[in-house]
Amino acid sequence: MILAIETSCDDTCAAVVEPDGRRALSNVVHTQTEHARYGGVVPEVASRAHLERMDGVIEKALADAGLGLDDVTGVAVTVRPGLIGALLVGVSAAKGLAYARGLPLIPVDHLEGHVAAAYLTEPDLEPPFVALIASGGHTALYAVDAAGMSLLGETLDDAAGEALDKGARMLGLGFPGGPEISKTAERGDATRHDFPVGLKNRDNLDFSFSGLKTSLLYKLKALDEEGVRRELPHLAAAYELAVVEALSRKLLRAAEAHRASTVVVAGGVAANRLLRRTLEEECGLRGLRLVIPSPELCTDNAAMIGAAAPLSEAVPFPDYLGLNARSV
């Protein structure tokens, strides 16, 4: 059994996953609420919170799986990318456990973990396919085959989740911004306002969201306080639609260019209901197999790290003692 640990940002996570990476026996996520007052994640606060909660989260993951440390045969941990202080907490915990039990350590790339979450959702899934990762820190398209992941295109500025967070902040909504915008947009008419879709007509697979944020800023400046209150749900709906259109347009273009029959969507933004509905409709029209993990597997979690572990190269005991989050 694989004990997996994820601490790349502000979620302290541990899970137990079967050796083939296709089934999670437990998946514990402790979401830090300390950052809401700042409107974004504070790295030092995140690191300290991970230190406080790491042991309890690991104990609960083992208890939920009905297993003990004697049943664990390998320890997987996120080593990149992410907040370096937060990563170091997870890597240190994983190294300590692996060394104490004489187990191999399996370093996992966070982005590969997001894609691997699809294997937990549909265990029969096999490459090749095209994958979109859309989260608060990353927005990119990959071609996935038996050899690994190849970058096809990425954001030139903000990530999609970051654009949603910043848009929510401008609209006076809470943090994290994606769920707040979606909730507000349910009462709005997306056709009331027109927002630009970045790189819409460019013949590439890259993304851009900076122009979208600027457009929202100018629309808000043109409204008085009463106008903002009146138009808030409509602005949120139109803004969300522009983000979804950018993501879906480029994903479908990538699938066509690479003659893919399957597309995978992963990352926190993949939990967005409008994006899921849009892609279900568009992929259905094109005869594409669409795989989107359940919402709890889209946001950061350790089960996805365990799912990626069989695809990663394990470091045998005790060769990992000198490794850290930057060098693994």
The domain spanning residue 59 has which CATH number? 3.30.420.40
Q: Report which of 28, 33, 32 is spatially closest to residue 11, judged by C-alpha positions.
A: 32
pLDDT digits (tens, 9 = 90+) for 6-43: 999 989 999 999 999 999 999 999 988 776 777 778 88
Q: How many residues make up the chain in this entry?
A: 328
* Residue 81 pLDDT grade (very low, low, confident, very high; cuts 50, 70, 90): very high
Same-domain status, 67 and 161? no
Same-domain status, 169 and 92? no
pLDDT for the residue 201:
87
* Residue 225 pLDDT grade (very low, low, confident, very high; cuts 50, 70, 90): very high
Q: Per the domain annotation, does 318 fall within a domain?
A: no
Q: Per the domain annotation, does 94 fall within a domain?
A: yes
Same-domain status, 21 and 83? yes
Give the H/E segment covering residue 160.
helix 160-170
Same-domain status, 177 and 87? no
Same-domain status, 155 and 103? no
pLDDT for the residue 40:
73
134 is in an annotated binding site: yes
133 is in an annotated binding site: yes
Same-domain status, 73 and 160? no
State the average pLDDT for the chain: 94
- DSSP string covering 194-240: ----TTTTSSSS-B--HHHHHHHHHHHHTS-HHHHHHHHHHHHHHHH
Same-domain status, 11 and 93? yes
Same-domain status, 134 and 254? yes
Q: Per the domain annotation, does 111 fall within a domain?
A: yes
Q: Per the domain annotation, does 51 fall within a domain?
A: yes
Spatial neighbors of 45 by CB under 8 A, at least 6 apart, are 32, 34, 35, 38
Q: Residue with structure tokens 């990992």?
A: 320
pLDDT for the residue 174:
83
Q: Per the domain annotation, does 133 fall within a domain?
A: yes
Same-domain status, 142 and 249? yes
Q: Per the domain annotation, does 322 fall within a domain?
A: no
For residues 14 and 168, give the distance between their C-alpha atoms in angstroms, rounded to a whole number. Answer: 30
Residue 302 contacts residue 61 (beta carbons within 8 Å): yes
- Report percent pLDDT > 90 for the chain: 88
Q: Per the domain annotation, does 205 fall within a domain?
A: yes
pLDDT for the residue 325:
56
Tell me the sheet residues that pair with 78. Answer: 108
pLDDT for the residue 326:
53
Q: How many CB atoms lie within 10 A of CB 150?
A: 11
178 is in an annotated binding site: yes
Domain that holds residue 190: 129-259
Same-domain status, 51 and 172? no
What total number of domains does the chain contain?
A: 2
Same-domain status, 110 and 215? no
136 is in an annotated binding site: yes
138 Cα distance to chain centroid:
8
pLDDT digits (tens, 9 = 90+) for 238-265: 999 999 999 999 999 999 999 999 999 9
Q: Residue with structure tokens 């029959």?
A: 261
pLDDT for the residue 33:
75
Same-domain status, 250 and 143? yes
For residues 248 and 221, give the distance between their C-alpha atoms in angstroms, rounded to a whole number. Answer: 29
Q: Per the domain annotation, does 227 fall within a domain?
A: yes
* Residue 322 pLDDT grade (very low, low, confident, very high; cuts 50, 70, 90): confident
